[in-house]
Structure 1
Amino acid sequence: MSTSLVRQSLFRAVAKPSMLRASAPGLMLAQRRFASTQNMTPAESISYLNAQRQHRPNSPHAQIYQPQITWILSIANRVTGVALSGALYAGALAYLLHPVFPIIDSAHLVSLVADLPTWVKGGLKFLFAVPFTFHTFNGIRHLGWDIGKGLTIKGVYATGYTVMAATAISSIYLAFFV
C-alpha cells in the first residue's frame, strides 16, 4: 500500500466518524460524551457552584486531632508574640497621648501600682511575665533549631517540656520574688 493511499484512508476515517467507529472498536469510547454542558450566565454559574459546595464533605479539622505539644507551643508562641507586640504599641501610644491626657505619666502609674494590694500586684506581674518568659525561651528553642540542634522528635518534645518548665519557674520567680 502506498503512502498516499494510507493518508487517504486515514483522512476518510477522521472525516467520517461512522467509519472510525466501524473500523476501530477500541476508539468507540472516545466518541461518547458522558458529560453534558450548557451555557450559563456568570451569576448562574456562581449559584450552581455554591449549591455544589453545600453538599461537599468538610475536611477534618482541629476537633478530631489529639492535642500535641508541638502545635500547642507553636500556636502559643504566635499568640504571645502578638500580645507582647500589642502591649508594646499600646504602652507607646499611651505615653504619646500624655499631652492630651496628663494623667498618663510615670508618676501617676507608680502611685497607682503602689496603692494596689500585694496579691493583685503579684497577679498582674505574673500575667505579664508568662507571655514574656515563654516567648523568650521558645525563641531560644527556635534559635537552637536554626543551627540544627534538637530537630529529632525526641529533641522537639524534650525542648518543649523544658520551655514549659522554664516558663513556669521563671514566671513565678519574677512575679512573686522580684
Structure 2
Amino acid sequence: MMSTRALGLGSALRKAAFAPNAVRSQIMMRNIIGKRFIQIQSVTPASGTEILNAQRLKRPSSPHFTIYQPQLTWVASIANRITGAGLSVLLYGFSIAYLIAPGTFDSAHVVEVVAGLPESVKYAGKTILAAPFAFHSINGLRHLGWDLTKFLSIKSVYGTGYAVLAASAVSTAVLVFMK
C-alpha cells in the first residue's frame, strides 16, 4: 500500500477494486475495442506530398513580427545577430582573400589603395565598418552583464539598451574621425 501512495495510484486502485463488475467490464471493453476505426490506404510518395501540401495550406499562419509594435529588446537582439554575422563574413572573407592572393591583400597594399580614395568614400567606409563593430562590442558587454544576472529588470533592460545605442553612436563617431 505504501508503494501505491508513493506512485500516486492509491485512489485509482481503490476505485478500480471497489467498482461494480458492470463498470469494470465496461472499462475493459472500452480498452479492448477501440472507439473508432482508422481506415488505412497505401499512397504513392507524390500523392502523399500533395496531401501534405494541401494540409499545409489550410493551417493558420502564426502572427509575424510585423503585427507587433517594435520593441528595443528584440530590435537590439536582431541587430546584434546581424552585426555579428556581418563582421564574421568580413573577417573570414578578408582572411580567405589574403590566403588566396597575399600580394594583393597585404597591409601595405590595402593602405595604399585606401589612401588613394576620396575623403567621402573613406568616411563612408569607416562608418560602415565602425558602426557594427561598436554596436556588437558594446552590446556584448551588455549581454555579459546579463550573464552575471545584472540589469535584468524591465527598467534596467531598457536603460542599458538606450545606453548601448548612445555609446555605440559615440564610439562610431570616435572611430570614424580617428586619424
Shorter-chain TM range is: 0.7 to 0.9
In the TM superposition, residue 31 of structure 1 has moved relative to its aligned partner by 8.3
1:39 corresponding residue in structure 2: 41
Q: Where in structure 1 are there 5+ consecutive unaligned residues?
A: 1-5, 15-19, 21-26
2:55 partner SS: helix
In the TM superposition, residue 139 of structure 1 has moved relative to its aligned partner by 0.5
Q: CA RMSD in A?
A: 2.8
2:169 partner SS: helix
* Bigger shift: residues 165-174 or 48-57: 48-57
- Equivalent residues in 2 for 1:122-137, closer than 5 Å: 122-137=123-138
- Per-residue displacement from partner, 1:18-71 (whole Å, max 9, x unpaired)? xx9xxxxxx8xx9874x7624232534443232222112211112211111111
Structure 1 55/106 Cα, relative in aligned 2: closer, same or farther at 3 Å? same
2:60 partner SS: coil
Structure 1 36/92 Cα, relative in aligned 2: closer, same or farther at 3 Å? closer
2:151 partner SS: coil
1:79, 1:31 → 2: CA distance?
53
Q: Which amino acid aligns with 2:39?
A: T
Report the structure number with the largest CA radius of gyration.
1
1:157, 1:83 → 2: CA distance?
25
Structure 1 41/127 Cα, relative in aligned 2: closer, same or farther at 3 Å? same
Normalised by the length of structure 1, the TM-score is: 0.75
Identity of aligned residues (%): 48
Q: Which amino acid aligns with 1:80?
A: T
1:149 corresponding residue in structure 2: 150
Normalised by the length of structure 2, the TM-score is: 0.74
2:142 partner SS: helix
Match of 2:60 among 57, 70, 79: 57
1:17 corresponding residue in structure 2: none
Q: Which amino acid aligns with 2:56?
A: R
